[in-house]
Amino acid sequence: MNDFSEIENKLRKLRPVQPSADLMSRVERALPEEGQERSSQLRSETARLASTAGVLPQERRFHFNWLSLGLGLAAAAALVLFTRIQLERPEKKIPTLASITPAPQFSSPTSTAQFVPAGLTQVVYHTRDEGVHFPNNSEQPMRRVRSHTRETLRWRNPTTGASLRISYPSEEVSLVPVTGQ
């Protein structure tokens, strides 16, 4: 290597052309302002990226797929609620009118957020009179009315303002005593 020391010195004496005066200001304009705020994260990134020398700098941060997470959570919540409703759906037996069952209050066991019942609506969209019957050997005739309804239960979290609504169809049979004339 000593054979080349003289020519190396000659080469080092050559001074590269200086960049134009506005290059610095161009870079300054091109750098995003938010990048300066990120500078505190630089050192933690540095150690990880130091091993990437020789390859093009690429974004290797972990990208969380929020869409997948949201869809997954929504699916899980729907499944839980559906299961709960199936379990808590009251058996509809004769002879009652459609009654409003108090909506259950539920909460996450690990969270202080609680949902409280906010209401229940029941829309009857079809009714059919099935005639007079004598149920259970009853002496009094009763008129059987079958109605198709849609029930909607609503819960509300007073702390967060979040609301939850479950809607499902139901079928009810009502026995109405027939009074004599």
Residue holding tokens 């960049």?
Answer: 19
CB 173 within 8 A of CB 145: yes
Give min distance, CB of 10 to other proteins, in A. 6
87 near other proteins, judged by CB under 8 A: no
Q: Is 179 in the site for other proteins (CB under 8 A)?
A: no
To which H or E segment does residue 126 belong? strand 114-133
Q: Which of 78, 80, 92, 96 is nearest to 142 (CA)?
A: 96
- In angstroms, give the least distance from the CB of 36 to other proteins: 6
DSSP collapsed to 3 states, 22-73: CHHHHHHHHCCHHHHHHHHHHHHHHHHHHHHCCCCCCCCCCCCCHHHHHHHH
**Size, binding site for other proteins by CB under 8 A:** 44
Do residues 165 and 154 lie in contact, with contact meaning Cβ atoms separated by under 8 Å? yes
Does 21 help bind other proteins (rule: CB under 8 A)? no
Indicate the residue among 26 and 128 with the shorter CB distance to other proteins.
Answer: 26
- CB closer to other proteins, 35 vs 90: 35
Binding mask of the shown chain, residues 137 to 166, with x at each position contacting other proteins by CB under 8 A? ------------------------------
How many of the other CB atoms lie within 10 Å of CB of 152?
13
Binding mask 34-73 for other proteins (x = CB under 8 A): -xx-xxxxxx-xx--xx-xxxxxx-x--------------
* Contacts with other proteins, residue ranges (CB under 8 A): 1, 3-4, 6-8, 10-20, 23-24, 26-28, 30-32, 35-36, 38-43, 45-46, 49-50, 52-57, 59
